[in-house]
Amino acid sequence: MATIFIKTIIIYLLVLIAVRLMGKRELGQLQPFELVVLIMIADVASVPMEEIGMPILQGAIPIFALLVGELVLSYLNIKFPFFHKLISGKPAVLIAKGKIMEKNLSKQRYSIDDLLEQIRVAGYSDIRDVDYAILEMSGEISIIPKNEKNNVTLEDLNLTKEYVGYSRIIIMDGVLYESNLISLGYEKNWLEKKLKENNLRIEDTLLFMADESGNTYCQGKRLKNE
């Protein structure tokens, strides 16, 4: 029993490392060959856990081989456009200049109902609002609306907005993330001043966030008697 438990933990860690090395992408963004590798890794990982007498190394080698294969294919996919097109395919235009491309729909085995559904998911209730619809290699559909249906931007109104960057966590659950404080260009004195304005100490703070323009969000921990 202990052997099975240890083998399961080791295989789990190996699969976790393999998936981590494959990169940080959502399932819907995986290329076909990456999805195949994930399925195969899950399949071969189950074998050493089921076969009690199988050495752990014998179960680890297929996982390692699949990982190496995936890394090699990823490299070729990035470096060589022809290989990228061969393995990953290319985007397919399903609507062009407001017109449904029937030939491409048929080639991609995509029904008009599927297309209309994706247009609605993108926030457009009428197909007449769509200029282009492109089926990406990940299987997602990118919708490009007609000019008159585009959202108005600050640039359209000749307005500018103060740059704020993105907010970083400075304190979370009483723990100070000093590297984030430094990366924003702030000192601890600045932080202490901000906390004092909210009658808080670091250890009493649930969440404190700040951006590059000095905008902050601060919330204290909930007291036990609350």
pLDDT digit string (tens) for 154-204? 777 777 776 667 789 999 999 999 999 999 999 999 999 999 999 999 999
Average pLDDT over residues 101-107: 91
Please give the Cα distance from 18 to 118 (Å, whole number): 33
Please give the Cα distance from 159 to 153 (Å, whole number): 9
Burial readout 139-175 (b: 16 or more C-beta within 10 A, e: otherwise)? eebebebeeeeeeeeeeeeeeeeeeeeeebebbeeee
Q: Beta strand pairing status for 130-135 and 175-176?
A: unpaired
Higher pLDDT pick, 210 / 226:
210
pLDDT of residue 43: 84
Average pLDDT over residues 81-89: 74
pLDDT of residue 80: 78
- Is residue 150 very low, low, confident or very high in pLDDT (cuts 50, 70, 90)? confident
Burial readout 93-111 (b: 16 or more C-beta within 10 A, e: otherwise)? ebbeeeebbeebbeebebe
Average pLDDT over residues 4-28: 75
Q: In degrees, to the nearest 5, what angle opens at C-alpha 85 toward C-alphas 79 and 90?
A: 125
pLDDT of residue 44: 83
Query: Is the separation of the CB atoms in 150 and 165 below 8 Å?
Result: no
Burial readout 25-38 (b: 16 or more C-beta within 10 A, e: otherwise)? eeeeebbeebeebb
C-alpha to C-alpha distances, 194 to 180, 187, 217, 220, nearest whole angstrom: 16, 11, 10, 12
pLDDT of residue 22: 73
Q: Where are any strands of DSSP class E within 107-224?
A: 130-135, 141-145, 168-172, 175-176, 205-210, 216-220
Could you give all domains of the chain from N- to C-terminal order, each with its CATH number? Answer: 2-86 (no CATH), 92-149 (3.30.240.20), 168-220 (3.30.240.20)
- Is residue 206 very low, low, confident or very high in pLDDT (cuts 50, 70, 90)? very high
Report the run of H or E that residue 96 belongs to, with start and end. Answer: strand 92-96
Residue 142 DSSP SS3? strand
pLDDT of residue 159: 74
> Global pTM?
0.59
Higher pLDDT pick, 199 / 69:
199
Mean pLDDT of the chain: 83
pLDDT of residue 223: 63
pLDDT value at 60 more than 70: yes
- The neighbour count for residue 68, using CB atoms within 10 Å, is 12
pLDDT of residue 16: 82
Residue 136 phi, psi dihedral angles, 5° rounding: -80, 170
% of the chain surpassing 90 pLDDT:
31
Structure tokens at 105: 């729909």
Please give the Cα distance from 172 to 131 (Å, whole number): 45
